[in-house]
Structure 1
């Protein structure tokens, strides 16, 4: 159920900003952006900072890899908006749409390196079951991921498990392919701030 707050819960100044964004971009303001303006003191400012650090902070994972992680976690959570947004961003970052599609269709046969495949497997288990074991971590490490890469991947997983649930709870509208593409260009240029 879409909550009315996403359409009407803003002060006049924010509504004017949304109108300007729509005028310039020729796309509606995505609900993921709208929600950070709803309660910036409670959720928005903190979420933007945490997500930006997870997705664009220093890491041995590329931006494309982290966007793919976000899309994969969102697929496990069945969050249509987030799958669309982050698969579009990952496709653009990799410049390889078939690779992203292959991972989302069947991780085991997808053309990705083993450290990434093993990490995605672990993130999928954590998302589905809410827990991972020391043995799960050993598998990821033995596949070639570093302890820091595991930590970075867990930050992406945490950010998108929260965002996916908000997307579903607030009934985020799924954008057109053009809307997702515009959002992907924005995310790659500006990040999550």
Structure 2
């Protein structure tokens, strides 16, 4: 892997632990010479992770839609900043620039980006790892729901296993480096249930 796309909030969240985790992830990425690809903002957890990568001497590439450039305050000090015409173009470009994907704590946009890229992996449109950095249990409810969806046969176990979940940035990046896409059928036949 050469670069990791980090999906995260344009808000800082309620607790300092989220910014601390963003800095820890950034430090691990720079140690491993992994460039950051992210949403391009200078605010919230997005700004924290980008600043930490840059402060440690790493590479930070932002991708931001023109309509959000001012609203999300595009980061002025990035290695590269790409301005896109739409959100769809933003997500497509972020996916093309990255070799793996991590969702940190964030809101609906973060979840939407994670679920879309994970779905693309299930469909075989990429073979890169998708992961959750589960900071202080932030994603415990989501992982319980995904386990429930698997138990109810709406999510295949092999597809559930594609999503790496860790609370420690170093372990998360180790697992991503060792990732092998599981062999799984994309579609479920009635006979398979």
TM-score, length-normalised on structure 1? 0.29
- Greater percentage in helix: 1
Higher relative contact order, structure no. (Cα contacts within 8 Å, ≥ 6 residues apart): 1
User: Which structure shows the higher strand fraction?
Assistant: 2
